[in-house]
Amino acid sequence: MDTLPEYTRHLKIDDLGLDERGHYCLRVALEDIHLSRARQVHGGMLFTLLDAAMGRVAMSQLGGDFFCPTVEMKINYFRPAATGVLRAHAWVVNTSRQLLYAEGEILGDRDQLIARATGTFFIKPRDSFVNS
């Protein structure tokens, strides 16, 4: 399934959709474009992967009538990665009338925890979203 925006496709992130637990899953096979000058996955790449996974799980729960821009996100980096495949999965923890709270994590080839994040997303009706 390729429903991710152009930015995420440009980073060669694969959209795996929802799993049996209701977690939204993404995957990326690491290449040079994902690495920092230190030859490790760039922190911004890990942040993007988690933001995309949490945003996708939010959208999947809310349905097509809503957008959910990121209000706040916190990430913890646990270990570096430089090669192999990274898998991100995210899940919704709580939803209120205006906000959705999600969590996500990235695992490496041997299921080692690479990074974990929490995020808050604003629930906004699609017809009120302004493109400029």
Q: Kindly report, residue by residue over 96-109, the tens digit of the pLDDT.
A: 999 999 999 999 99
- Calculate the average pLDDT of the chain: 92
Going along the chain from its start, the domains and CATH numbers come out as 6-128 (3.10.129.10)
Instruction: Identify the residue whose tokens are 């646990």.
Output: 78
Q: Kindly report, residue by residue over 62-95, the tens digit of the pLDDT.
A: 988 888 899 999 999 999 999 999 999 999 999 9
pTM over the 0.85 mark: yes
Reply yes or no on whether the pLDDT at 41 is more than 60: yes
Give residue 77's identity as a one-letter amino acid code: Y
Contact in structure between 102 and 121 (CB atoms under 8 Å): yes
Phi-psi region of 3 (alpha: psi -120 to 50; beta: other; left: phi over 0): alpha
Per-residue confidence (pLDDT) for residue 128, from 0 to 100: 75
Phi-psi region of 71 (alpha: psi -120 to 50; beta: other; left: phi over 0): alpha
Phi-psi region of 7 (alpha: psi -120 to 50; beta: other; left: phi over 0): alpha
pLDDT band at 40 (very low <50, low <70, confident <90, very high): very high
Query: Considering only CA atoms, which of 71, 91, 124 is closest in space to residue 24?
Result: 91
Give residue 79's identity as a one-letter amino acid code: R
Angle at 60 between CA 117 and CA 67, to 5 degrees: 85
CA 84/CA 53 separation, integer angstroms: 19
